[in-house]
Structure formats: C-alpha cells, structure tokens
Structure 1
Amino acid sequence: MKKESISFNQWSGHSSPQKILVIRIQALGDLFFTFPLIADLKQKYPNSKIDLLTRSDYAPFAEKMSLFNQVHSIPINIKSRFQRFINIYASIKLALQLKKHQFEVVIDLQRNENSRLIRRYLNPLAWTEFDRFSPQSALVRNQQSINLLGLEYLEPNFSFAKTIPSQQKFMKLLDQFGKNSNTDVVIINPAGAFENRHWPLERYIEFINLWLKKHSQCQFVILGVDKIKQKADALQARYPEHVINLVNETSIFEAYQIVLSAKLMLTEDSGLGHFAWLSGVNTVMMLGATRHDWVAPIGQHTYCFHSGDLPCGDCWQFTCARHDNYCMTRLTSHQVFDKANALYSQK
C-alpha cells in the first residue's frame, strides 16, 4: 500500500475560525463525499464562512448548495504534454487571488501537487490534508482528516439533501407520461467510467422486465451525458412508455433534484450514484473494478456488488486483465433484482 505523509496543523485559536477554505477539485463523486461533513461543520460553526475550491465545471452546481459562502473555481484544461505546467500556472494564479480572503483554516481534501501549492501560499493558521491511500471509505477518510484540526468532532450529517427543492420541470414531464408526483421513480445509471465498470445492456433489459412484472406502475428515468446515450436510447426505444431519457437534458443540479425524488437508484460507479446514497436514496451500486473499501456505499438503504472476493478484484484498472469484465458480467439480472426489490420494499 502506497503511503505518503499527511501534513496538518491544529487550530489553536481561542474562538471559532472565521474563514475556512475546503479544497476538492476532482472528481464529482469525491466532491459529493465531502458534503455530509461540511454540513456538520457548518452546523457546529454557524458564524464561520466556509468557501469551496473545485473545478470550474462543478462550480455552478456547488453554488446552488446551501453549504458554502462562496465557491471558487480552477479551470480544467485539455490534457497535453504540458498539462502539469499549465496546472501549476493556474494554481499559482488562483492562489494569488485567494490570498486576499485571509483564510484561517484550509481543509485540503484533494491533496495533490496543486492543492498543496495553493495551501502553502495561503499560509493558514491551521490546515489538514486528505488521506489518499488508507483502505477505508472516502467518507471516513474525509472525516478523519478534518478531525485532525482539533475543532469540534465532526460526524456525517446527511440532512443537507432535505433543503433541495423538487424539480418542477420533471414533475411536469411525469404528468406527460400519465404519471404524477406520487409515482415511484427508479433511476437507472449505466455511467461507469470504464468498460470494467459496465453492466451489459442485455442485463439492464432483463432487470427492467423483471421489475415491470412486479412493479408495473413505476417510471424509469435515465440521467447523464453523452457517454451513456447509446444505452439510454436503446432502453427508451425498447420501453417507450416506461423509460424517460433525460441524457444531456439536465444540469448537474437538476439531475440531483430528480435523484432526490427517486424511490431507488440502480447505478454503476459514478458521481450521481454516490450522490444518491449520500442523500438517503435507496441505492444498489455495482462497482466492478473499483476498490470497494474506498467507495462502497454505507447504510441500510444501500447494497453494493463489488469484486473484492475475486483474486483479481478491486484492481482499479481501466481494462480487464481477463478480457471478459467478469466482475460485472457475473452479476445476473435476478441477483440485482432481488437486492433492488428488497431495498425498494423496505419501510
């Protein structure tokens, strides 16, 4: 297991810190993992101004959350052989802008070359860094890292999701399908980043067939971007009365509003899937090659299919060494249906 020293300096002030900066640049799911703890930090320090630094395409979403005083963003550039130098330049430029805010505490939940550069230039009175390598959930590692500051002990606070208003545009869309706000929504999210995080399309079809036999009044919804469009189009074409295809039709925040209206989400390893379970939505997650000790959902409202039982499991690789994506293809539609139905049916 790779190890790297974590730098932190505890808060020694006699009063609460006035200005706190949280840094989480990559990736969307990892940003979501910070929210329950920031919610508790905000509740315990209501007079502190908590800012966020994240990547530019996530900033509009974060700005709509009630957690942050201000959201600062850093541009994400197209990969090139000069990428490292471009990122360093952007970090230095941003650090110069952030210096004027006089942050007393910096919580670096990214912990890479650029976030460390920014933190060191800001020279806060107290700081802490993310533990990137311990075999524990990202939520737990975020919690442990923040608690190193010596402030009041933080626990995950999932109530932040309750402040998000419903998506009225989606409610009108349900009406067009002959449904209403009382209709149970099931979200299908085939959005794994790599092929060894993908459940085969034919298994999704089998799952929907099984589901509609038992829950015929449910409405399936698919959210996301171009990378899942082909699967979404295929499922909508096969079930035109039961599948609403909203791929490329929503912002991240609008998608999240719709997720909050769902009774269940069936998801591959993706940001939206993590947002679902972190917000209390019943979630069945299929991780494939992703390390389950880092990102598996937690709670009685979740179930996780992972590959930790396989000799090659939790490999964290982009492609399957076996060339058959076994950690996903071994999952049958009946297995997934049984776990999803159990969560759906629990009170």
Structure 2
Amino acid sequence: MNILIIHTAFIGDIVLSTALIAKLKDKYPDSNIFFLTTPVGKAVLANNPRIKEIICYDKHGNDKGFSAFIKLTFSLRAKKIDLCICPHRYFRSSILSFFSGAKIKIGYDVASLSFLFTEKIKYDKTKHEVEKLLSFVDKSEKRYELEMYPDQNNINNIKKFIGKTNKKIITIAPGSKWFTKKWPEEYFKILIKNLSEVEDFLVIISGGEEEKKINLELSPKVIDLRGKISLLDLAALCKISDLVISNDSAPIHIASAFPKTKIFGIFGPTVKEFGFFPWSKNSTVFEVNNLYCRPCGIHGGNSCPEKHFRCMREILPESLEREIKNYLYSKQIKLGCIK
C-alpha cells in the first residue's frame, strides 16, 4: 500500500503530524509512506524511519509556478498512490490530492475545495491538533507521541557549543512569527539574567536569524545559538535539556517529542481550545485566565487590539523564575549532560 500525506504548513504543524505517521505505520506496517512538504518540513522529518520518501515542494521558491505544479502532479501519479491524506486545508493541497491518482483521498470537511476528496473528516475545533490528525486513520483512542530523529551529527553539533556539563540545561526560545505571541523582551532579559547567575544552571538561547533581532543583553555565561543550529540540532538540544521555555511556537512541539524534557509554555492571545498546547504530558502552561479580551485570534497579531497587552504583561518574570527553581530543585531529575 502506498500512502501519501500532503502537509505544507508551518514547522509546528509538521512536527505534530509525526503522530499521524506513527499511527499510519502502526495500522499499515507494510505500507510505503510518502510525505509531501516544504523544505523546512523536510528538515523536520529527516531521518524518520517510518517514511519511505520525503517529497520536497518548494512552493514559494524553486517550485513556484504552474509548470512546476504540473510536473509535481505527474511525479506523484508515478508513485501509484493508494491512499492520500491531506491535513493541509488550503486549495493547492486539495488540488494536489485530487491529481495524485489516489483511489482514496481524505481531507477535512472545512478544507478549500473539500468536494475533491472521496472522504471528509470532521474538523473538530474542540480537539487538540494531534487528535484531529489521528482521526484520519480510525477512531481508536490510543495515544501516539510526537517523533523527531536527531542523529549523532546533530548531537555533535550541540556538543561543539556546549561541551561536557553537569549543570541543569535550560533552553529558552524567545521568538514567534507573531508579535502578540512573544513574551515581552524585557521580561526575557530579567529571567535570563537571573537564571544565568545560578551556578547549577546552564542557560541556552535558541532561535533562527529572525530571533537575533531580540535584544537580550546576554552575559558571557549564556550560550546563544540563535541562527547557528538546524531544526534537528534544536531537537537534539531539546532532548538533552532539563527544561525548555518557549512562547506558543514551534519549539514547544519539538520539545514535546522528548517526554523526559519538561516544557514551560507561555501563552498570551491563544488558548488551549485552539488545539496547539504542548502535546507532551510533561508540560506546564503559563497564561492569564479569565481575561475579557482573550483569545483575540488563533495566530495572535502584530499588535494588541486593546493596547494593554495584559495577556503577556501579567505573566511576570519573577513568577516564572520561582516555578523554574521549584521544579528543578524539587524534582530528583538527572542532570543534563552530553556524553
């Protein structure tokens, strides 16, 4: 059986879809799973042993345009796909699903051009995104975890920056695509400064080139990896971290692939009901409950509509610092180290 998954969304969405891959392979152990995604999605899925082939579709780059789209559809048909699953809800993905040649084409009922699917799955807004994805296979309630597969090269890349340490590793991801999803810069400065002064803690900052614009005024004790590591390097870092602190962004989902890693998620304009809270059971979310204007949008925004930004400003750095220290000192956890 040849199965095609089409998902060309954001990094976090692709990480969340790894549970779907696991469930498909569980139900159809002899199947060949093909995954069509973006170059960034390919980086997320690299080394996944459940996938036969990652099909890279650079829809905003080298594969932009009608001729490249047609070429892609022909290459998909050549794979003789039996089942096509399309979690991406936009028209281009629906069309790709239709032209894939698959006998069975499954997508969400709310997707653009959903009439092109042979079967439609209810998009249940009350469920976590992972639960929505798992519903593409069957209605069993077995829990599936997220999966990422950093290899020894990724471990070595992190080791190059960190070296050997017996300190508790705290990874902090201060970025997000949306302004209102970002905990205030000055709050991160305070938290990072105070944590870096604790002898038992090793504080590491993660992020891409965009996060370099966040002025954190880091001391020499802090390891700044912004723009220096790949997504699988970040996965390797999350795996050996004792604690990952992140806004509502991709690092939360990457860290969720490693159940021993504790996650502290900072949520402002977005809420649990949107379905993107940490999937990991080993997680804690910091949020301002019962705020009249929350949530204000599923993706946040470029500015606070109410001009006060209380959903983030009322999550104080001292409260986070207290919880971090309580967790790391009260739990008899293994010290973070790279061997």
Fold shared, TM-score > 0.5 on shorter chain? yes
Specify the SS of the correspondent of 2:95.
helix
1:33 aligned partner:
16
Unpaired segments of 5 or more residues in structure 1? Answer: 1-17, 79-85
Tell me the CA shift for residue 170 of structure 1. Answer: 1.8
Distance in 2 (alpha carbons) for counterparts of 1:167 and 1:264: 17
Q: Say how many residue pairs are matched.
A: 311
Distance in 2 (alpha carbons) for counterparts of 1:91 and 1:314: 37
Deviations 1:216-243 (A, max 9, x none): 2221111221221133x6342xx211x1
1:309 aligned partner:
290
1:288 matched to 2:268? The reply is: yes
Tell me the CA shift for residue 67 of structure 1. Answer: 3.0
- TM-align CA RMSD: 2.6
Deviations 1:70-103 (A, max 9, x none): 000211327xxxxxxx666654432221111011
1:11 aligned partner:
none
1:158 aligned partner:
145
Whether the 8 Å contact between 2:294 and 2:311 is mirrored in structure 1 is yes
What aligned pairs does 1:1-347 form with structure 2 within 5 A after superposition?
A: 18-77=1-60, 90-130=68-108, 132=123, 134-147=125-138, 153=140, 155-158=142-145, 160-161=147-148, 164-165=151-152, 167-175=155-163, 180-212=164-196, 215-231=198-214, 234-236=216-218, 239-241=219-221, 243-280=222-259, 281-293=261-273, 294-306=275-287, 309-316=290-297, 317-318=300-301, 319-344=303-328, 345-347=330-332
Unpaired segments of 5 or more residues in structure 2? Answer: 109-121, 333-339
Residues 112 and 90 (structure 1 numbering): CA distance in 2 closer, same or farther, change over 3 Å? farther
Counterpart of 1:346, as a letter, is K
Counterpart of 2:265, as a letter, is M
Distance in 1 (alpha carbons) for counterparts of 2:270 and 2:318: 22
Distance in 2 (alpha carbons) for counterparts of 1:272 and 1:335: 21
Distance in 2 (alpha carbons) for counterparts of 1:154 and 1:69: 26
Specify the SS of the correspondent of 2:228.
coil
More displaced, 306-315 or 158-167? Answer: 158-167
2:115 aligned partner:
none
Residues 225 and 163 (structure 1 numbering): CA distance in 2 closer, same or farther, change over 3 Å? closer
Distance in 1 (alpha carbons) for counterparts of 2:226 and 2:134: 33
1:82 aligned partner:
none
Distance in 1 (alpha carbons) for counterparts of 2:77 and 2:85: 15
Distance in 2 (alpha carbons) for counterparts of 1:310 and 1:341: 27
Tell me the CA shift for residue 210 of structure 1. Answer: 4.2
Residues 217 and 202 (structure 1 numbering): CA distance in 2 closer, same or farther, change over 3 Å? same
TM-score by length of 2: 0.82
Specify the SS of the correspondent of 1:192.
coil
Counterpart of 1:141, as a letter, is K
TM-score by length of 1: 0.80
Counterpart of 2:296, as a letter, is C
More displaced, 311-320 or 113-122? Answer: 311-320
Residues 174 and 265 (structure 1 numbering): CA distance in 2 closer, same or farther, change over 3 Å? same
Specify the SS of the correspondent of 2:46.
helix
**Identical aligned residues as a percent:** 18
